[in-house]
Amino acid sequence: MLAGRFRWLICGLLFLGVTKNYMDRQVLGVLKGPLQHEFGWNEIDYGNLVFAFQTAYALGMILVGRLIDRLGTRVGYALAMVFWSLASMGHAIAHSLATFVIARSALGFGEAGVFPASIKCVAEWFPKKERALATGIFNSGTNIGAIITPLIVPWIAIHLGWQWAFLLTGALGFAWLILWLVLYRKPENHSWCTNAEREYIRNDPTAPSGNIKWGILLRYRQTWAFAAGKFMIDPIWWFYLFWIPDYLQREHGLHLTQIGLPILAIYVISDVGSIGGGWLSSTMIRRGFSVNAARKWTMLFCALGACPRIHLWFC
């Protein structure tokens, strides 16, 4: 079973982890209206909750990523999952803006581990020609999590109370943790990974690696190019995640239980781009393009795909 393709089961496990990650972070956005009504928050208060999450997330991307490098992916990802799952469940006992800020900060700090760990896992389990596709697949979990949350959280909140929405989604992390601890090892240490698959994963030329100081890292133009791309894209993504549910309720008069389908449309389209972009890059590499060229052409095609929408905004 899965002989020679066990790496794709690992990719599926990463997909589930990212899905869980985005479910936890979106519960607050889906329940924004009811929580504002119960606690008397205004828009600035809610904005401060988003700010607390993002600030802790940014800090965690640096510190948690380094911790995962030291502990290894298996232990590091497991600890991150436990930490942010408990933080997610901790929202259920929050009773004021200050305690929600604490819970959101803890959630953001812990959730920051998901992408450093996932990308490191892909590097351990996939050759370069498949890494873009594997990354696209696990990254599509961001959209699946954002789709599932507005479909199930309103029902939980209405029938069981908003506290249970945080408790139940947070508790899913411990089910994932069991699968992770049972299934994940590095290829060279995994009895379920065949010798043929192990050789296939390791068929790339050995690349030099080592620790790089921040001062040296900041001299690379690649660092600034990646940072610039994230700077332009992430604000749009965060807007969808934290503000779209409330926007649909306020501006279009949708009930809490009616926002699921419009959000579904947004994230299904995003899922197509996530997997399709990874597929295109990996396909170009297999057809003889360099890794650098394949990924840049893919980003260009995706950027051109956004141009019609930009034109509509200005018309």
More confident residue, 98 or 214: 98
pLDDT of 142 > 80? The answer is yes
pLDDT of 272 > 90? The answer is no
What the block records as the tokens of 297 is 């052409």
Q: Which CATH class is domain 6-191+227-314?
A: mainly alpha
pLDDT, tens digit (0-9, with 9 covering 90-100), for 167-214 = 999 999 999 999 999 999 999 988 888 899 999 988 876 555 566 777
Q: What percent of the chain has pLDDT over 90?
A: 48
Integer CA distances (angstroms), 117 to 32, 64, 72, 204, in order: 30, 9, 9, 21
Helix axes 221-252, 6-30, angle to 10 degrees: 50
pLDDT of 70 > 50? The answer is yes
Identity at 86, one-letter amino acid code: L
CA distance 33 to 162: 11
State the virtual CA torsion across 200, 206, 207, 211 in degrees, nearest 10.
100
SS3 state of residue 42: coil
Q: What is the pLDDT of residue 122?
A: 95
* Residues found in the chain: 315
- The residue extents of the domains of the chain are 6-191+227-314
Nearest to 203 by CA among 128, 148, 115: 128
Nearest to 199 by CA among 4, 1, 3: 4
pLDDT of 123 > 70? The answer is yes
Nearest to 182 by CA among 17, 18, 4, 10: 10
Chain-wide mean pLDDT for the chain?
A: 85
Nearest to 73 by CA among 81, 254, 127, 201: 81
Element (H, E) at 101: helix 97-111
Q: What is the pLDDT of residue 1?
A: 43
| C-beta neighbour count of 101 within 10 angstroms | 18
pLDDT of 146 > 80? The answer is yes
What the block records as the tokens of 260 is 């699921």
Q: Classify residue 196 by burial, with Cβ atoms within 10 Å: 0-12, 13-18, 19+.
A: exposed
